[in-house]
Amino acid sequence: MPDHSPGQPLRLTRQRQAVADALEDDDQFRSAREIHAVLRERGNAIGLATVYRTLQLLADHDEVDVIRSADGEAGYRRCSDTHHHHLVCRTCGATVEVEGPAVERWTRAMAEEHGYDEVSHTLEIFGVCARCR
């Protein structure tokens, strides 16, 4: 349930549409720069600052997930309906989505046990995939 409370008008522009489309076409986490590059390649002129502003807007409205990689770059991905995690190859970057109620339950239980509310979590699994071994 995205917030969509139009305290401000929220205009539909070509650029916002383009960023949303780019995210729709992709189920990997992408950096702002990658998204910007893809749009330019498609001939869709857009400023990097606008990409950032749009991504932040989408994040505020819970329409994209944001992840922070170890090097400090932020990755953005459209929210899928089901919550899941990523199994990433350390060598080639190949990503598999995994999900399971076990972790979800465990994290929530841990949080409640310590009196924490409004719980969310991030979990990434790293390894070396079969092909890279």
DSSP 8-state code for residue 131: G
- Is 31 or 107 the residue whose CB approaches DNA more closely? 31
Regarding 83 and contact with DNA (CB under 7 A), the answer is no
CA atoms lying within 13 Å on the CB side of residue 68: 4
Q: What is the DSSP letter of 43?
A: T
Query: According to CB under 8 A, which one of 20, 74, 77, 79 is a site residue for its own copies?
Result: 74
Residues 102-121 that bind its own copies (CB under 8 A): 102-103, 106-107, 110-111, 114-121
Distance CA(133)–CA(52), nearest Å, equals 37
- Give whole-number Cα distances, 61 to 9, 77, 81, 88, in Å: 14, 13, 15, 27
**Stretch in the footprint of DNA (CB under 7 A) among 28-36, 77-85, 87-95, 114-122:** 28-36
Nearest Cα to Cα of residue 77 among 11, 19, 18, 3: 19
20 binds DNA (CB under 7 A): no
Q: Dihedral sign, CA of 20, 23, 29, 33?
A: negative
| Smallest gap from residue 6 Cβ to DNA (A) | 9
Q: For residues 69 and 80, which CB has a smaller minimum distance to its own copies in the complex? A: 69
Return residues touching DNA (CB under 7 A).
8-16, 31-33, 45-50, 52-54, 56, 72-74
Return residues touching its own copies (CB under 8 A).
66, 68-70, 72, 74, 87, 89-90, 96, 98, 100, 102-103, 106-107, 110-111, 114-130, 133
